[in-house]
Amino acid sequence: MSEYVAPLRDIRFVMQELADGAGIGALPGCEEATPDVVDAVLEEAARFAGEVLSPLNRIGDTQGARWHDRSVTTSPGFKEAYRQFVDNGWNGLGCDPQFGGQGLPHLVSTAVSEMWKAANHAFSLCPMLTQGAIEALMIAGSDAQKAAYLPKLVSGEWTGTMNLTEPSAGSDLAAVRTRAEPVGDGTFRVFGQKIFITYGEHDMADNIVHLVLARTPGAPEGVKGISLFVVPKFLLAADGSPAERNDVYCVSIEHKLGIHGSPTAVLAFGDHGGAIGTLVGEENRGLEYMFIMMNAARFNVGLEGLGDAERAYQRAVVYARERVQGTEVGVRGGPKVPILRHPDVRRMLMSMRARIEAMRAIAYVTAAAQDRAHREPDAAARSKAQAFAELMIPIVKGWSTENAVDIASLGVQVHGGMGFIEETGAAQHLRDARITTIYEGTTAIQANDLIGRKIAREQGATIRSLIAEMRGDVARLNGSLADLGARQAVAVDALERAVSWIVERFSGDPKGVHATAVPFLHLFGIVAGGWQLGRAAAIAQARSDAGDGDPFWPAKIATARFFAAHFLTQAPGLADVVAAGGTGLLEIADEAF
């Protein structure tokens, strides 16, 4: 069974050429991100992903995490790999040096995270949740909480979790009923049950720092009455080391379709007198703080989709090269050939490849915008970058993960009947990818956020600015790339029509607009992906015209052309779907279902 090989050539290209890696490295605080340092980090991350994490991926799937006696044992090899992960400093790659991090740009940590997720999705979830906890405490934690928890979280010696939902709540966090009762000195006793807690219990770290949503006595109903608390698995001794066990226990783990190596816990707080916790920030602002974790997690779930898709593609390519079956179309009496030579297999592989390259470009460009939003000296530049990043996160999360499920399914199809057999490994990627469209808000939640908060609320200002930028790049696709530019121009026009329809109709027909929010997300993702692949093609054409004979460049152009022909051509139809609103959908009676 083949192992993951990091696509370093494309990763470097996207980082440097599309995401402006040199410009990011020149930002204040990014001085350490020199080209040689970044290259060394990428090389070592690729080695760790391929040699340490990838071989454990299949083991995690077949020998998943096990619950026993309120404890969880992770899959064989996970604990040892995590120790290497921590010892090598990977957890603190993009974290604040004040707390032991390395302070590298988000663009760099994004590329490294993609490798973790592609090599071993289940393993990568543990550090992902820890990063979210770090961000929340950095922004909303007290000085005492930062001093107590951040150094160990940044190093990875302790891990973090995000405790939002409950059995009766689902995505409706207004229904949260876990309660926190004050006992003095800023301390609370927490009572309740939380479900779907990724790495809520495990054996890989000395302590687990739970960030928990709960209600204090007298809190308002709904989301305005939710507070956020730090509830560690082990309470801390005077010297800051783990001491007495807190009253939070794992009562079971879920039996899931995929990501078996990642324990998804049901946690009980306060069954034996109350779990001790401390308030993060102000009372009743917990959901606001938790969204700090949520936005980071949504971006990272998009990277999970990218990673699963890349891994499925790599496995499918290996199989297509090795599997010999049938003669080549148009070659009468010819020899049997690898299925890679068959047109429809090539179509499937190119469909996988083109979307993966588009997903990677969108994610990295968004990561670079997040760096600029935090580090640009000019306030206006920071604001512009922040608006762009917020607009794109639903695409990174929603469009990438929806693509990942389809790409992993195509990976099974490339294998034919063997893809349905677990031993080939193709099915695992489909099972693992399936959760990504649900994690941290379903695709519809991402789409609703996109059309409501990111477009209608500001009358489309940010996305219209982006459309103008797209048009400028499309205008550069001339000469031998004129056909590509023409398709992109039509797609951008379609996106603009859909945006205008949303802005004009949102307040008067909210149901009709929300009915096609997901088709709009797909439309925006396709056009954004085509925009980035068009930028890549223009760079590739310039290199080829200058005499660079590297086959990487014509492959970039071919990939952009394929995406334009097979995906950008869908844009006008999707714009029509968006404008159709709730036709049929909202007309049919409830009882007719």
- The residues assigned a catalytic role are 440
Other beta carbons less than 10 A from residue 135's beta carbon: 18
CB 153 within 8 A of CB 209: yes
Whole-number Å distance between alpha carbons of 27 and 385: 13
Is-contact 327 335, C-beta < 8 A? yes
At residue 509, the 3 state secondary structure works out as: coil
CA distance 195 to 135: 22
Cα–Cα dist 591/593, whole Å:
5
What are the backbone dihedrals phi and psi of residue 429, each rounded to the nearest 5 degrees, phi first? -65, -35
d(CA 134, CA 109): 14
What residue has token string 């192992």? 3
Partners of 324 in beta bridges = 338
Closest CA to 431 of 262, 588, 274: 262
Degrees, nearest 5: CA angle 241-244-250: 110
Alpha carbons 280 and 217: distance in angstroms, whole number: 16
CA triple 298-301-302, angle to 5 deg: 90
Which of 495, 368, 305 minimizes the C-alpha distance to 18? Answer: 368
Which residue from 31, 205, 228, 212 is spatially nearest to 139, judged by alpha carbons? 228
